[in-house]
Amino acid sequence: MSWVEEAKRRAAEEAVQHVEDGSIVGLGSGSTAAYAIRLLGERLRRGELKTLLGVPTSLQAATEAVEAGIPLTTLEEHPAVDVAIDGADQLDGRLNLIKGGGGALLREKIVASCSKLYVIVADERKLARRLGEGCPIPLEVHPMAVKPLLLRLREMGAKASVRMGGGKVGPVVTENGNLIVDAHFGPLEDPEGLEGRLRGIPGILETGLFLGYADVAYIGTKAGVRRLEASWRRR
């Protein structure tokens, strides 16, 4: 196992300790969150946790949970989530995030907004001084709005393009039937201001800027795990 995979697992090992017996757990998407899902399954099998219900943020997360033996539920049944564990494409020292590399940003943000505790797991490569350094902002957009939206983003100074599928013909289609536009703005001076401008554009259904959501992050390094806490609390 490479140091990166070891770092991801170490971060996930710390994160799953926040999950108590009987919890409703938001299950994030991506390779690092997958480690957390598998570890939760191991805790169930060992009897450390007697009961647990997972709210998956994607088909990938749901598949991982089924394979790990985690029973699934929905926000319709449990609209309040005790703790969610998710990954990030990039995070800064304030625990603001860019997410959406896996195309699940809309469902991930919905689950994050319903969570009493939102825990991020990542390896140290994802830390940045400023959001946007070498990382695009994914946007989930309505297919009807793509052309005018691309023009609008370019007027705002972004290099923007529709994300194309790997191993399939055509663009990536989200589980909600929408498309993903990746917008490169470069290092962000004012993430909150940009978030507001983006959300004001018709056709953008959600942005990959997760500002003010994360409570704690576990960052796997070559030597161990760093714990970062937000200086504010959402609740």
Catalytically active residues are 108
* Ranges of H-type helices in 96-218: 105-113, 146-155, 191-199
Residue 74 CB neighbours (<10 A): 10
CA atoms within 13 A on the CB side of 167: 0
Angle of helix 31-46 relative to helix 3-15, nearest 10 degrees?
50
Rounded Cα distance, 222 and 170, in Å = 38
Exposure string (b/e) for 14-43, b if CB count within 10 Å is 16 or more? bbbebbeeebbbbbbbbebbbbbbbbbbeb
